[in-house]
Structures are given as structure tokens and as C-alpha cells.
Amino acid sequence: MDWDGIAERGSARYADGEARLDPEQLVRLGNAAYGVGLALLMEHRDDDARLWLLRAAERWRESWEYATPTSWGRPIGVIKACLLAEDDGLAREAAEWALTLGCVDAESPIGRYAATLALLVLERWEDARHQAASIRELDDFPHDVADALATCAGDEVVGYVEAVESVVASFESRESYLEDVPVADTALVLQALARKRGIETALPSSVLLP
């Protein structure tokens, strides 16, 4: 995979959007920056990746002001980007912010997903387990992701390992990815949360992982 080319393409998209910056460009900028960050992670250029991931988080958070009240993908993106950037302070701040938006009481699965991520970042394990349980059996949310969240919150190592391996496999079967960057980013985020829970396990070998 030409990760350098993917990173260059993404940075060009970012520069194009930045040149005509307006509220409608903020999500596009966040997406482009996140894609660059993922490509750099795949090249093990962690310091450069961190800059782009935090740039993505900043753009997505700025975009919330212009979003509808149920645009939960934005706080989810902010939390994920901060976790992948390995900035625990910013991740906790993003989690606290997400909770102030009302995601704990969201009716949609994606809103509850945002709440679960936030609660896991803040190490509120029981609350996170409750949220994850509420989406675990829903047909319109990926079962393996919900299982991974619930087992992580519950410190169920075997269940977590099985779930996160399924998440990697599901990414390998996809035909499209955010910004056309083929990386199993959800699995990487789950691993970051599992480490916070004290679960130490390796992900399976995959072309979609660093």
C-alpha cells in the first residue's frame, strides 16, 4: 500500500479545504486530517500521525457548533482521534465534552456508542457497561463492536479478544473506508480502551493494521 501517496493526497485535500475555510468545510477537513493520521500510523510515523489526528479532532469539534443535536459522529471522531494520538488528557477532555452534549440519553445507537466511548475513556466502567449493553443486541449496530465495548467495560478478557478479532475481520471484508484509507481504526481505538482497562492482548496480523 502506498501510504506516502495516501498521506499526500489527504494533506492536499486538507489544504484545499483550508484555503476556502467555512463551516461547511470543517467536517471535510477533519476527515482529511484523520485519513492522513491513519496513513502515517501505518508507516509508524507516530509523531507526525499525532499532529494530524489532533488536527482532525480540533476540526470535528469546531464543526459541532454548526451541526444538528444528533450529529454524534463528530464527538465520536474527536474521541477516537485523541485516543489514537495517545493524548490521554485531551481524550478525557473530549469525553467530558461529549457527555455534556447529552449522548448518555441518546435514543440512537450511534449516540449510545458515543456515550460508551466517553465513559470508557473516563474509566467509568459500570456506566460504560450499561451503555454498551443497551446497543449490544440491536440489529442496526455492529454486534462485534458492541461486544468488544461491553467486554472491555466488564474486564472480560476472552470475550474481548474474540470480539476485537471479529472487528478486524469485518474491516477486512469492507469495500469502502473513510477517505479511502484502508485501516481498521476501530480496532486500534478498542485496543487503546482495553489497555486503560488493564487488558493486554495483541491484535491479529492484518494488512489493515500497523
In-domain check, residue 129: yes
Helix (H/G/I), strand (E/B), else coil: 67: coil
In a domain, 128, yes or no: yes
Each residue's pLDDT tens digit, 89-126: 999 999 999 999 999 999 999 999 999 999 999 999 99
Residue 77 lies in a domain: yes
Cβ within 8 Å of residue 105, ≥6 positions away: none
Indicate whether 204 belongs to any domain. no
Alpha helices in the chain (DSSP H): 3-19, 26-42, 46-63, 73-84, 88-100, 109-121, 125-136, 143-153, 157-172, 185-197
Residue 21 has pLDDT above 80, yes or no: no
- Does the pTM of the predicted model rise above 0.75? yes
Q: Which band of pLDDT confidence, cut at 50, 70 and 90, is reported for residue 139?
A: confident
The pLDDT assigned to 162 comes to 98
Residue 202 lies in a domain: no
CATH code (residue 32): 1.25.40
Query: Number of structural domains, the chain?
Result: 1
Tell me the DSSP string of 144-183. Answer: HHHHHHHHHHTT-HHHHHHHHHHHHHHHHT-S--GGG---
Mean pLDDT of the residues in the chain: 96
**Tell me, what's the pLDDT at 18?**
87
What is the percentage of the chain residues whose pLDDT exceeds 70? 100
Domain that holds residue 8: 3-197
Tell me if 208 is assigned to some domain. Answer: no
pLDDT at 42 over 80: yes
Residue 203 forms part of a structural domain: no
